[in-house]
Amino acid sequence: MSKEHLQIERPINNGVMSQNIILLSLAAALLIPTLGVSITNVALPALSHSFNAPLSAVNWVVIAYLVAVTSLVLGAGALSDKFGRKKMMLTGIVIFFGTSLLCALSTKVWILIFARFLQGAGAALILSSTIALAGTLLPKNKTGLAMGLMGTTAAIGTSLGPVLGGMTLAVLSWPFIFWLLAILAGLAFVLCSNGIPDEHVSTLNPKRFDSLGTILLTGTCLFYALAMTSSDLLITLTSVSFLALSFGLFTIFVYSQKKLSSPLIKLSILENKLRNRTLIASIFVNAIAMSTLVIGPYYLTYALGMSTATVGIIMSIGPFIAALSGYPSGKLVDKYSVNPILLLGLCLVILGTLSFAYLPVKFGLYGYIASLLVLSFGRQLFLASHHTFVMHSISDEDKGLASGVINLCKNFGLMTGASLMGGIFGFFLHVKHVSDATTQQLNAAFSTTFIISSIIVLLSLVSLFLTSKQKALSQ
């Protein structure tokens, strides 16, 4: 008895104009979820005032979105492999559009948090499909270029978010931030509907959607986020309990994946030791990048005495450099292959992280900016080469799953950077409020946090280097 199974074939030849339209459409789709990550941060004080809610509750407007994206992106990748990547991407944009309207119309903070979680679900569908479509619809020798452009688009979305949010709040109220997201989602839907070609599919052996695995992974990420956002990180009984629950659910999740015929994630995808180590490295790299956005404002404000306006400008430098370097990073991968660019990117990330540990303390603002430039460029080199390697090492039918794994690691890194690295900084600060810390305490905590970060990435680099000597990354 025949069953249905989705198989997507790489087009033999797309003209240059067609390839450019595809890239533009994918970039427009990717811009929506990346804006969703950063555009609400600037509105948190306004939301706290509007809902008369404590900041700890309002923070979940951001956290709920990240939890949804992180926990659901694997399931979204599996759905895109089963039903079609273009179809799932368009579905994600529709969900994002509808939940943006719900966010704008929210009258209670818990409604807004719930709507943001649903919005994150739509974002997960978009994210899991865009990278997979880029790896499937474009020629293999253009994959690095496409991944570089995706990195540039993500960086643009991250940098534009606070700017658009701030400009909107300057003249309008917070709901208009979500009206803006709804408008952009509508435009992206029109562009992607017409600019991305339909996929060629055949019907044999359909996969079942792993709902149990999705629930377990969601619980894992939720309790992890609760543990990381609890006060006195890793010290209070509440934090330890949440971490234990997170670890327990993850253990059950892994066990369930071994038993199911159609798991959320094929554990065989984790049998490639080299690919696993690049994925782990991506978690650390993204955590460090997010930590600069979380710790940086405190250091710039209280240690270097910068005004709020100046801090905002400085914080935009990293995403701006990342946006500029994403495209050339992809070109370098296509020209020189994955292996040297990936290792070079990690070396620059280590150099940038170490620079954060020492240069701002010694040279102030100039040292901070120099460190940011090195770290941002190194991260883009790493991401372009890492995404290209993962896509080339996976069969076409599992590219949606691979895209989901990439985004899972990325968002898990962002969650870790926003919570754990901030916790480390606070732990070494030895004060309850950052404003009470002396310049010496701020310098010491800032340097220690980035020294620890650089050691972690250095271990990843050594591990990758030793593994790559056994098997070339470019294979």
| Equal fold, 1-209 vs 269-475 | yes
- pTM of the entire predicted model: 0.70
- pLDDT-derived band at 55 (thresholds 50, 70, 90) equals low
Residue 467 has a pLDDT of: 65
Q: How far apart are CA 72 and CA 110, in angstroms?
A: 20
Q: What is the spatial distance between Cα 103 and Cα 111, in angstroms, rounded to a whole number?
A: 8
Nearest of 406, 360, 361 to residue 387 by alpha carbon? 406
Give the pLDDT confidence score for residue 96 in this predicted structure.
95
For 449-463, the pLDDT digits (tens) are: 899 888 888 887 777
**How far apart are the two ends of the chain, measured CA to CA in Å?**
38
What's the 3-state SS for 72-104?
A: HHHHHHHHHHHHCHHHHHHHHHHHHHHHHHHHH
Residue 290 has pLDDT above 70, yes or no: yes
Q: Is there a contact between 144 and 121 (Cβ–Cβ < 8 Å)?
A: no
pLDDT of residue 4: 42
Calpha distance 282→107 (Å, rounded) = 38
Q: Give domain 269-475's CATH superfamily.
A: MFS general substrate transporter like domains (1.20.1250.20)
More confident residue, 222 or 9: 222
Distance between CA atoms of residues 421 and 452, nearest Å: 10
pLDDT on residue 6? 44
Residue 366: how many other CB atoms lie within 10 Å: 11
Helical residues (DSSP H) of 105-232, grouped into ranges: 109-137, 143-171, 175-195, 211-229
Confidence of residue 118 (pLDDT cuts 50, 70, 90): very high
Burial class from Cβ neighbours inside 10 Å (0-12, 13-18, 19+) for residue 396 reads middle
Which CATH number does the domain 1-209 belong to among 1.10.1060.10, 3.40.50.620, 1.20.1250.20, 2.70.70.10? 1.20.1250.20
Domain ranges in the chain? 1-209, 211-259, 269-475
- 394-417 mean pLDDT: 74
Residue count of the chain, please give it: 475
pLDDT category of residue 366 using cuts at 50, 70 and 90 = very high
